[in-house]
Structure 1
Amino acid sequence: MVERKADPDEAWTAVDEYIVDRLIPDDPSHVRDANAAAGLPDIDVSIPQGKMLHLLARACGARRVLEIGTLGGYSTVWLARAVPADGAVVTLEIDPHHAEVARANLAAAMLADRVTVITGDAHASLAALTGAFDLVFIDADKPSNVAYFAEATRLSRPGTMIIIDNVVREGDVLDPTSDDPRVQGTRALFDAIAGEPRLSATAVQTVGAKKWDGFIVALVD
């Protein structure tokens, strides 16, 4: 979750709207509408970011996807659309209400047959998983980033793509003295990735309707 320090720049939001209007006619807007109606926090990835996740999953030929942090299933729908009909998405959500909303959204998108929503603490859920995933998307509590990253690498193979959201935090990632556990968790994540010889990684800053943040994209060698 990102708590914004200020409203997004109007131009950033306008460019996002332009991108969506020109390039993303297939946005699963029913998910965002249902999430809002159910009182879920507005912390989904943006529409262009959701489509980006979809394209990255398709580009790496993902058949088995792991998502840590479901919320109401907006990013889950984008990822599930990317896997083949006999593919699988496993998504982990700690909040039972969020998980219930996500299951309803996936059913409405006619994707429930390829998605398993696991409710409960992600640390325990991850420990019970086996086998390799082709793509892992991490977008959950930031103090646990390093632990989630370690599990993602355990559940990977050469060629697995690992994507992690909210890693710039409006520039706060630069502050080594921050007492914000989310910033501390993000900085520790960068250190963990830098020290993992199996990975080739970068981070990309993003601006838009969700303001200034960014993703880490890593490939397991």
Structure 2
Amino acid sequence: MDQDAFTAVDAYLVEALIDRDEILDQALSDARAAGLPMINVAPNQGKLLAMLAELVGARRILEIGTLAGYSAIWMARALPPDGQLVTLEYEPKHAEVARRNIERAGLAGRIEIRVGAALETLPHLRGPFDLVFIDADKPSNPDYFEWALKLSRPGGLIVVDNVVRSGGVANPKGDASARGTRRMFEIIAAEPRVTATAVQTVGSKGWDGFCLVRVVR
């Protein structure tokens, strides 16, 4: 098996199970045209996030790492009409592209973008949130997780993307992203208020995976 096969399977799954969506397609096109890195979640992963939001009955969602707003749109659509999604983005250029995509999706009243370093904006947020999605710089994952836990309600869910790093997470001497993720896993494992698992994935985004953390108390 190789990347072409993984991508082909993802394409089949998306075609079979996910309706075409012009708004989401345009969001990706605008991101590409603006020169943003194409590191958004895949469509089937976006739908998974939306389903998780529905399963936890989310009314408030926190996202760390907006990029072009693609995953924010997926999750915000799963909120009730009076729900709220707060998304944090470091790069003003990314936030501006996301803002246009969110407005086109008709979700400007449901999604709030806060621009700046997440570790500077997180202390100004008020919880609790029902779902937190972490998809930003990986060396900061330990700090992001601790803030996510602080801002989550009992019964809430924290999802951390890109935790496998093409296998790099298994190497104690890996790069800064892998080391940050390993440190996050150590914190999660020692935290009595949560239960967690992690799953490897392959697909159009390569070999990676995500961590699911349930806040139990």
Letter in structure 1 aligned against 2:199:
V
Instruction: Please point out which of 78, 81, 84 is paired with 2:77.
Output: 81
Is 1:192–2:199 an aligned residue pair? no
Aligned to 2:15: 21
Give aligned pairs, total. Answer: 213
Secondary structure at 2:7 match in 1: helix
Instruction: Please point out which of 122, 126, 129 is paired with 2:125.
Output: 129
Letter in structure 2 aligned against 1:53:
L
Aligned to 1:168: 164
Is 1:54–2:87 an aligned residue pair? no
Aligned to 1:5: none
Q: CA–CA distance in 1 between the matches of 2:85 and 2:198?
A: 24
Secondary structure at 1:157 match in 2: strand
How does the TM-score come out when normalised to structure 2? 0.96
| Superposed CA offset, 1:117-149 (max 9, x none) | 000010011011112000000000011101000
Q: How many percent identity over aligned positions?
A: 55
Q: Where is the strand percentage greater, Structure 1 or Structure 2?
A: 2
Measure how far apart 1:30 and its partner are. Answer: 1.3
Alignment of 1:105-184 (within 5 A): 105-178=101-174, 180-184=175-179
Is 1:30–2:44 an aligned residue pair? no
Measure how far apart 1:9 and its partner are. Answer: 1.4
Q: CA–CA distance in 2 between the matches of 1:99 and 1:10?
A: 32
| Superposed CA offset, 1:145-203 (max 9, x none) | 0100000010011111000001000111110122x111110110110100111111000
| Superposed CA offset, 1:26-59 (max 9, x none) | 4421111111111100100111111110111111
Q: Which runs of 4+ in 1 moved over 4 A?
A: none
Secondary structure at 1:82 match in 2: coil
How does the TM-score come out when normalised to structure 1? 0.95
In structure 2, the gaps of 5 or more residues are none
Letter in structure 2 aligned against 1:104:
R
Aligned to 1:65: 61
Letter in structure 2 aligned against 1:16:
D
Secondary structure at 1:52 match in 2: helix
Q: CA–CA distance in 2 between the matches of 1:140 and 1:33?
A: 21
| Superposed CA offset, 1:47-75 (max 9, x none) | 11111101111111100000000000000
Letter in structure 2 aligned against 1:109:
A
Secondary structure at 1:113 match in 2: coil
Q: CA–CA distance in 1 between the matches of 2:110 and 2:126?
A: 18
Q: CA–CA distance in 2 between the matches of 1:216 and 1:26?
A: 27
Letter in structure 2 aligned against 1:20:
V
Q: 1:90 to 1:39 in 2, by over 3 A?
A: same
